[in-house]
Chains A and B, each alone.
Chain A
Amino acid sequence: MSEKQRKRSILDVMNEYMEEFETLADELMASAFPEGPSWNTETCCLQALSNVSVTSREVIVTADMPNIEPETVKVEAVDENLIEITAKMKKKVRFADLGIYHRQGEFSFLRCQDRIHVAFDAEKMKISCKGGILEVRFPRKK
């Protein structure tokens, strides 16, 4: 076997290890954080998409909340690292409205929970809502 062929096969082996490692990591993540549905019929909530970004001065949480009544938005710090945003939808959505007849349930709220890994001041939050995109800004604690 030539030097070039030997080198290529070492790279191939490394690539195989990397792929196996990635698969294992995915499996571990799946078992540690099992996926559930994005809806909850007990709480009548649909899970809203959200995003957290951290700057040097503040934490900005955005959430996609179409069809909500803006005056019903509630932002709560569940604990020092977790916030929850809830809002009531203008119109209830049922599974049947989405063409789904093999499940029963209706949803009145959009909700999301986000973990924030830096200290922030929940008391001084600023909330704005434009086009159904909610933005909550928290100043960071020093």
Chain B
Amino acid sequence: MLESVEIVEKKPIPSEATMIIGLPDVGLVGLIATSYLITELKLEEIAYMDSDLLPPVVVLHKGLPHAPLRIYGNQTLIAVISELAVPVPAIYSIIREIVDWGQAKKVKRIVSMGGIPVENRQAITEPQVFGAASNQELLDTLNKKGLSVMNEGYIVGPQALSMRYSISRKVPAIAILAQSFYNYPDPEAAATALKEFSRIFEIKVDVSKLLEKGEEIRLKARDIMKRTRQEMNRMKKSQEYDLPLYV
């Protein structure tokens, strides 16, 4: 029996928006960056995901229950976050539904923010940010905007699937990836990725408060990082360290 995955809309969804996906992954970079963006830009909750593939969890905020995987938005932005580590068996259906829904809402593009795990992250004072895109035209745009491109390598997990499904559905997709810790929450990497996003898409976001709250975020994010690690192990995320063969 096919498990259903459904995005339940709570408010009208804008058309031609930029959709940002920030799910728990390496260094929680995407999740931290996207959550901060939602708070800074005061985006409203507009939809949530309902699926038996997700664990039986609600998250309480100010006493009210919320689905752990939620979608926020304003007239020009749609942001997808998850407060639980998406179980690996569910990831294909979840990401497929998100991309399909984005396509149906005629999003202008899908942007995944995340981390590139680096062994020597401790020695790096300012993480570098790299981009990947679903077509040459977008890649050239990223280049012109001064973003280094991830020339050869592997991407594993939610960003990989969002790129794959976006390509097959012809929805423009970009990944913005900052060097980060593999298995420790990395608010600095998140701030760097967000700064690049803000610069490329000309959406004003001040990341100074994110950097100030860095230690607090690292303390609060321990549990979700622990659970994300378990899922990253299952999906063999360490393949991102592999050297690709291209003959």
Contacts and interface: CB of A to CB of B under 8 A. Distances in A.
Q: Interface extent on A, as a size class?
A: 10 to 19
Contacts of A93: 219
Instruction: Give the interface residue-count category, chain B.
Output: 10 to 19
A51 B183 contact: yes
Contacts, number: 40
B223 to A, nearest CB: 5
Contacts of A131: 122
B154 interface: no
Contacts of B122: 62, 130-131, 133, 135
Interface stretch (A7-15, A42-50, A119-127): A42-50
B159 to A, nearest CB: 22
Given A51-B183, A130-B122, A135-B122, A67 B215 contact: yes
Interface in A116-142: 130-133, 135
Contacts of B184: 49, 51, 64, 133
Contacts of B14: none
B215 A64 contact: no
A66 B226 contact: no
A98 interface: yes
Contact of B223 (A38, A51, A62, A64): A38
A29 to B, nearest CB: 10
A51 B220 CA distance: 18
Given A64-B185, A64-B222, A66-B214, 19 more contacts: A38-B222, A46-B219, A47-B222, A48-B222, A49-B183, A49-B184, A49-B222, A49-B226, A51-B183, A64-B181, A64-B184, A66-B216, A66-B218, A130-B122, A131-B122, A132-B218, A133-B122, A133-B181, A135-B122
